[in-house]
Structures are given as structure tokens and as C-alpha cells.
Amino acid sequence: MSIVHILQKAVIKSLNNIYNLTVTEQDFQINLTKNEFEGDYTVVLFSLLKKNFTSPDILGIQLGNDLIKNNSKIFIAFNIIKGFLNLSIADEFWIALLKNNYDDTCYGKQPLNGKRVMVEYSSPNTNKPLHLGHLRNNFLGWSVAEILKSCGYKVFKSCIVNDRGVHICKSMIAWQMFADGATPQTNNTKGDHFVGEYYVKFNDEYKRQVAELIEKNYTQKDAEKDAPIMKAVQQMLQDWEAGEFSVIELWKTMNGWVYEGFAATYKNIGSDFDKTYYESNTYLLGKDIVQQGLDKDVFYRKEDSSIWIDLTENGLDEKLVLRKDGTSVYITQDIGLAQQKYEEYKIDESIYVIGDEQNYHMKVLKLIAQKLSVASADAIHHLSYGMVELPSGKMKSREGTVVDADDLVDEMINTARKHTEELGKVKDFTAPELVHLYKTIGLGAMKFYLLRVDPKKKMVFNPEESIDFHGFTGPFIQYTYARIKSILRKEKFDPVINISTNLLKSEKDILVAAEQFPLVISEAAKELDPSKVANYIFTLAKTFNSFLSELSIIKAESEEKKQLRLQLAIMTANILKSGMQMLGIDVPERM
């Protein structure tokens, strides 16, 4: 049980003892005591004044005295400052925490709780390679899944690949027009990059044809509709849906190139899935559900035979669920897939990691599923995240201005190499060790920078800033971990020596921070927010570095103090490694 929970229960019991007052954890707040005041934890008294009508000083004195009287092995002193009760925790509590947990590599993690969760992320289109936006999506989804695992959930990672539709046909048409039979192998190009080049070529040719028609006095709208290349795309989509052999074969071939490219990228960035769904298999899902909705009067049919739902009473609008020609739309497919996920995995929660531009779509999806009484309806949760940009601004796939994930990863590794060589501490590394180290630092820098921000916020990714060894970065934490491991290689740890010494402030600061780790994991899981873990481990790394700048482990004033500090080092290293692993980041043993 965390010290916060212990303190909450103790406060509740004391208030009942003193005033016969019944309160809950929600009736008062507990914070870490601010550095400028004496104490470890602070009980905010103001909300309690409404219940017993006494002054904050009287309440604080009576509560503080009762807490110490009944919990003398935990609370040893208190002071009151303007409505805040600051409590000091006994050194024995912190030393017991250290003794019981310093070598526990699973510290903070919870046993299985019986709940099943699916986290869907990535969701790429097979007409272009993964880009920077996909990286934030992948890192966020993967990390949320790992944090939930740490809290005892059985987690299934899934991906839906958008492998059909107009955008896919655009790349296919452009390949037919301009490739002259070229393949990724003949061009020595990664498959997803190869196909993405033809998506850009389509857009270039489309714009040229539209401009040509406008010169012939077409309106902009008519030119966009009548451009020959666009008509060819529409015909190809119809042929695909009709199962025309040559179109299907080309589609399979080009998608195969892309899948191979995606697999290489996923492996390189450490992203994986337990289940991959393909839109080409799911786009027919939901049609039976639509019929059920008609039977229940959830949907209605218009005169042109299209099927709709009226959500105006829910503050939304009317939504098409089946076109007049009987073909499904995205919302129909998503309803069917939501039901399929539930039937396959019996999940208690289905988390969709999707950008905030799809907020409306996800609201509609959940609302329709609830109206249809789909078994998985209440389990749907949209983890909405903000878009990520580079300092140069927004990116556009059609214009070829997107930063490909592969290129960005290579850039990060090269930047890591440059910064590491400047520090000049890796001269004894072998060439393979350096290759691994640069990738570990480069990928770690990128992942940490993208995950340290609240998912709901838009952000700008600055590659150079992300790899600063002295900033709010992954490399700073990696360096701290490697520094600890270097100390532990040099100093002999003796677990037999009994630690009973009084704690200095810098020593206790580490334990106060370490004690919060289980609570941080729980909060990150509850809010689906890896930035809480990222911010916490950065703060812990800073706290440990401050400790090392003030106190020596090697030249400790006694053997008992040395062993205490070695235990602090071991526990800190374990937490840093565990927290970074939840973010998908490796920590090097030396750097």
C-alpha cells in the first residue's frame, strides 16, 4: 500500500476518532510537501472545514496529534501553514521500503486482474510509407498497452490496415501509367516507399490534367470530376469490388510490396501486434447489423434506398450507414469490426488510438453501437491524440512533403552518433556495440520526446532538441542509468549489512520519489497517458543526479552509508529501466 493510501486511511480514521466525522478519500487532498516547507506529505485542510466548522489551525493540530499518536511508526512530526498540514514520515518507513523493494525488478507492477483490453493503433494506408504521425500513434499505442499490462490487464495489440479504396487505386493507376513494369527490386527501393512514390505521381498528374481542362473552360469542380486519371481510378475501384482478376492481382502485388516495407519498419521501431485486421476483409462487416437496425427502427431508409440514422437528438446530425447501391461506409465497417473484436477476444475495453481529427467519427461509432445494443458498445474508448509537426510545419502525403518514418529514424541514429562521439566516452566500444548504442539512443530520444507530452496536446517534434544529453530527454535518463550501472560494477554490494542509519535529505528524496512509482503507473493506466511515466522517470533521474552531486557512494562516510546508497542506486536503476521499458525504450548498460 502506498504512503498516500496509508495516509488517507489514517486521516479518515482520525477524523472519525476526533469528531465522529465520516469522510472519504474524495473529501480531502494529499500532496507532496513543497520544498520550501518542512515535511514529506501535506494534507489540504480547507475542504474538511466545511464538515466540522472549525478553524484550519485547530483542525490541523488535533488531526496531526491524533495521526502521530496512533501511527507513531510512520508519522513523527507535523507543522501547519495556512490551512496545510505538513507531515514528516519516519526514516524507518523509508528504510523498510528500500529493504523490501530495492532489488525487485517488478516493483510497481500489479498481478493479473482478470480484465481483457484491446489496444488498436497504427492503422496505416497501403499507398504510402509510415510517417512521423504514425510514429506518435505507434509509440503511444504500444506504450499504453505495456502500461496496462503492468497494471494487471490481459492486453491484445491490434492494427487495422486500410488496404482498399480510392487512395489505394490512385497508386495502382499511377504505377500502370508511369512504372513501365518497375518493382521495388528493380529500383532497389523499400516496397512502401516505392508505392508511395506513385501516390505522389498520381497527384502530380491529376493536378496537371485538371489545369489542362480548366484551360479548356471547364469549371474547377467539373475539371476535378472529369480528369481522365480520376475516372480511371473510379473505374478501377468498381473493378476491384467486382473482383476483376487483373485488378485484384495488381492490388495483391502492390499491397505485398507495402506489407513487406511496413514489417521492416515495425521491426526497426519495436512495434508489434497480436492481431492485424485488413479493411479488404472487414468492409462488408456491419451490413447484417444495419438490417437489424432497420428492424429495430434505429435506422431509416431514404427514397433513394440509402440507409441513415438520425442523431440530432444526441447533438450530432444525420449519418449515412449504407449507400444507395448497398455498399458500406467506414462507420458501418467499424461497427461490424467492433462486434468481431468482442466475439473473438471477449474484451472488457476496446481502446482506439486515433488522431483527434476523428473525434466526431468515434462519437458516432460508440453512439450507434449503443443504440444497436452491440455487446462491445460500452467498451469502446477513443484515445484521441493531437497531431505532430516538425519545426518546418505541417506535412502533406499527396505532395510528397511527409517525413517518412524510416528516414526520420535514420536521422535520429545519425544525430545520436554525432552527439555521442562529441562526448568522447565510447572509444573502447566495438563497431557492432556502437551501432547498437547509436540506435538505442536515437530511437530512445525520439520515443521519449513523442511520449513525454500529454497525448491530447498537439506537438512539434524537434529532432535535435530530443537528443540533448542534459535536457528533458530520453538520452538524459539513459545516461543516468548507465552511470548507475558503472558505479555498481565498481563497488561491492553486501546485502548482509543491516541498514539502520538516519537518512539525509538527498537520500530520502530518492525514496520519496521511488515510493510514488506504483501510483504513477496506476494513474498512467487510468488516464491512458504515458507522459505521466515519462515525466516521473525524468524527475527520478534528476533526483538521483542531484544526490550524486551532493553525496558520494564510493567515499561514503561509513560502510553502512555506502551500502544504503548502493541500495538506492540499485532501486533507482530498476525503476528507470522498468519505466523506460513501458515507453518502449531500451537503456544501455554503458554509454
539-588 residue pLDDT tens: 999 999 999 999 999 999 998 999 999 999 999 999 999 999 999 999 99
Q: What percent of the chain has pLDDT over 70?
A: 98
pLDDT of 492 strictly over 90:
no
Rg (CA), the chain: 29
Which of the listed residues 241, 273, 305 is the one where a domain comes to its end? Answer: 273
Q: What is the mean pLDDT of the chain?
A: 93
Phi, psi of 516 (to 5 degrees): -80, -10
Do 519 and 564 share a domain, yes or no? yes
Same domain, 69 and 110: no
> Regarding predicted confidence, which is higher, 448 or 498?
448
Find the mean pLDDT for residues 29-49.
92
Length of the chain: 591
131 and 70 share one domain: no
Do residues 110 and 31 both lie within one domain?
no
197 vs 50, 164, 202, 231, 476, CA distance in Å?
66, 18, 9, 20, 37
HSE-up (13 A, CA, CB side) for residue 205: 21
**Which tens digit of pLDDT belongs to each residue from 290-331?**
888 999 999 999 999 999 999 999 999 999 998 888 877 889
**510 and 480 in one domain?**
yes
Encode pLDDT of 419-432 as tens digits. 998 888 888 899 99
Here the CATH number for the domain that contains residue 52 is: 3.30.1360.70
Domain membership of residue 491 (yes or no) is: yes
pLDDT confidence band for 187 (50 / 70 / 90): very high
- CA–CA separation, 508 and 510 (whole Å): 5
Contact between residue 503 and residue 94 where contact means Cβ atoms under 8 Å apart: yes
- In a domain? residue 338: no
- Single residue among 89, 115, 131 that ends a domain in this structure: 89
In a domain, 100, yes or no: yes
In this prediction, residue 401 carries a pLDDT of 54
Query: Which pLDDT score is estimated for 390?
Result: 81
Question: Which of 345-349, 466-470, 501-505 ranks highest by mean pLDDT?
Answer: 345-349
Task: Tell whether 102 and 125 lie within a shared domain.
Answer: yes
Q: Is the residue at 332 inside a domain? A: no
Same domain, 228 and 125: no
How far is Cα 501 from Cα 121, in angstroms, rounded to an integer? 49
**In the prediction, which pLDDT does 491 show?**
87
What local confidence, expressed as pLDDT, does residue 394 receive?
A: 52
Tens digits of residue pLDDT in 110-128: 999 999 999 999 999 999 9
Q: What is the pLDDT of residue 288?
A: 81
Gap between the Cα atoms of 52 and 36, Å rounded: 29
pLDDT of residue 235: 95
- What pLDDT is stored for residue 391 in this prediction? 83
* Same domain as 169, residue 159: no
Mark whether 405 and 481 lie in a shared domain. yes
- Residues 155, 182, single domain; the answer is no
- Look at 69-78, 127-136, 205-214, 317-326 and tell me which has the smallest mean pLDDT: 317-326
Residue 319 resides in a domain: no
Residue 281 lies in a domain: no
CA distance between the termini of the chain: 36
Mean pLDDT of 326-351: 91
Read off the pLDDT of each residue in 273-295 and give the average, rounded to a whole number.
88
Residue 533 forms part of a structural domain: yes
Indicate the helix (H) or strand (E) that contains 541. helix 531-550
The Cα 484–Cα 360 span in angstroms is: 48
Using 50, 70 and 90 to split pLDDT, how confident is the model at 349? very high
User: Which among 50, 68, 89 is the end of a domain?
Assistant: 89
Type of residue found at 510: I
Q: Is the pLDDT at 50 greater than 90, yes or no?
A: no
Could you tell me the residue range of the domain that residue 234 belongs to? 165-273
pLDDT tens profile 228-252: 999 999 999 999 989 999 999 999 9
Which range among 40-54, 220-234, 436-450 shows the weakest confidence by mean pLDDT?
A: 40-54
Q: Same domain for 398 and 474?
A: yes
Give the three cell numbers for residue 203. Answer: 497527384
- Could you tell me the CATH number of the domain that includes residue 516? 1.10.730.10
- Interacting residues of 324 by C-beta distance below 8 A, sequence separation 6+: 302, 304, 305, 306
Residue 309 DSSP SS3: strand
Report the alpha-carbon distance of residue 347 to residue 343 in Å, rounded. Answer: 8
Task: Determine if residue 528 is left, alpha or beta; phi over 0 gives left, psi from -120 to 50 gives alpha, anything else beta.
Answer: left
Domain count across the chain? 3
Residue 398 pLDDT grade (very low, low, confident, very high; cuts 50, 70, 90): very low
Specify if 111 maps to a domain: yes
User: The sheet that has 116-120: what strands, in order across it?
Assistant: 275-278, 154-161, 116-120, 349-355, 380-385
Asked if residue 484 and residue 444 are part of one domain, the reply reads yes
